[in-house]
A and B are shown apart, each in its own frame.
Chain A
């Protein structure tokens, strides 16, 4: 592992999420091999790497979809290793999964409502609903439509909005740019910056390294299940190795 560009890349001090020596395996196949990483309060952290590098597996282990084979995960200092997903939502984590994970037979309204499943503060939920609809006014127009009839971009907007409806402190996003038109991607990344501005920390998995590194304060490069590089997003953008391997230059 090598650090890149230490100058001008001070990270916030307070830890939100920390993984130490994380291993994730599917049977005999090791997808993640001893990864340690952290997300500090208020940060956007990007996880970049090729297909099969272990990015999605790592995210799934963090959100309780997979039980890690080894290692430790803490959220705000508390051990959450192996904790089931539904309990992590109550602790301030939201995960918009790979492939968006929307419920096609349910309406946009019902999908968003499920995002606030655990909340009992009706006023707060209404306020957050108004907020996400102001971020993505398009969803308002499709309010009563079955989510399966939405375009890919609209589904991604719905997936992010639904994740925000639990009012998370940590938002996990898996490839929000996948399969979308460039204008839609730009819109979504602009809004992610807004969301982060509201104090939501983000752990972002992306294949599109250029987008991810521009948004992220800090980033990790994953190769075959291990952290190959880490550093400030902007610094990694300048790095020769990253440019050659991930930016196609």
Chain B
């Protein structure tokens, strides 16, 4: 019983971080019908920006509330800028070209970034893993069942940050003027343009939002796992993509549910069998969902236009 509860806590905490990354995949897919394979690598870059700023704060005397917020803010802002650059210079010129062209480009950017970061030129971090500074001192937040189950403070913080960012996104998409434009562009960008909506701008801002969420997730991963490395984006990004597909790509609540499910499944596999099964089961779960519901758990069946 205590094991089970501990796994649920760990699974939820990992799942909500996956959800932040999955949202970026699903938002970009929503407006562009493009799987942005570079998304995980944007997350990795955000993590390194967080790492660099954390080192600065550490030298200047440790971490307080303000410095932790600043680390999140700097890394999210940097990723928003990177997202804008990628969209503007890599994807926008290919907007009217066949979808495959943009997809290959996305894979190309992903490799360029994840392997480029392994160079040790100048500011680049090189191939070796680094340890993310302990920006939040780890301590139990709550112990249950005579100390057999622990809810850590960083899990609570990570959960709260992830939920807060998701609630903000939900508000933006369904309650604001910009969100209305986003939903219109996502359905049909040509018709949206006919109403006066500057669709290029909506797409660019969507990229920036998705990238900023990924940066937030990257910091949370770093707090959870401590180890960061240039290939982390490829691994975690692929998992988050799986989560988005399980939920139904293009569907915002679906991405969250898919990610939480994936987090729980992985945690249970690691907890009850061997950790080497984790990835196999994650992708097996994807195959299972796609066999039973090809459109994903929350996706709608859409007729492919010919």
A residues at B contact (CB < 8 Å): 63-65, 84-86, 89-90, 94-95, 97, 101, 103-106, 110, 113-115, 117-118, 162, 166
Contact = CB atoms under 8 A, between A and B. Distances in A.
Interface string B196-226: 1111000000000000000000000000000
B183 interface: yes
B57 to A, nearest CB: 43
A113 B175 CA distance: 13
Interface-central residue, A63, A86, A89, by most chain B CB under 10 Å: A86
Contacts of A101: 188, 191, 194
B194 to A, nearest CB: 5
B190 interface: yes
B191 A117 contact: no
A114 B191 CA distance: 11
18 contacts: A64-B193, A65-B190, A85-B194, A86-B194, A86-B195, A89-B196, A94-B194, A97-B190, A101-B188, A101-B191, A103-B184, A104-B187, A106-B183, A114-B184, A114-B192, A117-B195, A118-B196, A166-B195
A114 B195 contact: yes
B196 A90 contact: yes
A84 B193 contact: yes
B180 interface: yes
Given A117-B197, A166-B195, A110 B190 contact: no
A103 B199 CA distance: 15
A104 B187 CA distance: 8
A95 B194 contact: yes
A86 B196 contact: yes
Given A65-B190, A97-B191, A106 B196 contact: no
B295 to A, nearest CB: 15
B181 interface: yes
Question: On chain B, which size bracket covers the interface?
Answer: 10 to 19
Contacts of B180: 106, 110, 113-114
A21 to B, nearest CB: 24
B187 A162 contact: no
Contact of A86 (B183, B187, B188, B193): B193
Closest 7 CB pairs of A and B: A89-B196, A101-B191, A85-B193, A118-B196, A117-B196, A86-B193, A95-B194
A65 B195 CA distance: 12
Contact of A103 (B188, B190, B193): B188
A162 B195 contact: yes
B196 to A, nearest CB: 3
A114 B196 CA distance: 9
Interface-central residue, B187, B191, B197, by most chain A CB under 10 Å: B191
B193 A115 contact: no
A133 B63 CA distance: 59
A65 B194 contact: yes
Contact of B195 (A84, A104, A105, A115): A115
A117 to B, nearest CB: 5
Contacts of B199: 86
A176 to B, nearest CB: 15
Interface-central residue, B183, B188, B195, by most chain A CB under 10 Å: B195
B181 A117 contact: yes
Contacts of B184: 103, 106, 114
Nearest to B300: A105
B196 A166 contact: yes
Interface-central residue, B188, B194, B196, B197, by most chain A CB under 10 Å: B194
Contacts of B198: 86
A139 B49 CA distance: 51
A45 to B, nearest CB: 19
A77 B105 CA distance: 42
A19 B183 CA distance: 34
A95 B196 CA distance: 10
Contacts of B188: 101, 103
Interface-central residue, A64, A94, A114, A118, by most chain B CB under 10 Å: A114
B12 to A, nearest CB: 29
A97 B195 CA distance: 11
A164 to B, nearest CB: 12
A147 B191 CA distance: 15
B197 A103 contact: no
Contact of B187 (A85, A89, A103): A103
Contacts of A94: 194
Contacts of A63: 194
Contacts of B190: 65, 85, 97
Contacts of B196: 86, 89-90, 117-118, 166
B175 to A, nearest CB: 11
B306 to A, nearest CB: 15
A118 to B, nearest CB: 4
Interface in B89-145: none
A22 B184 CA distance: 30
A137 B180 CA distance: 24
Contacts of A166: 195-196
B187 A105 contact: yes
B194 A97 contact: yes
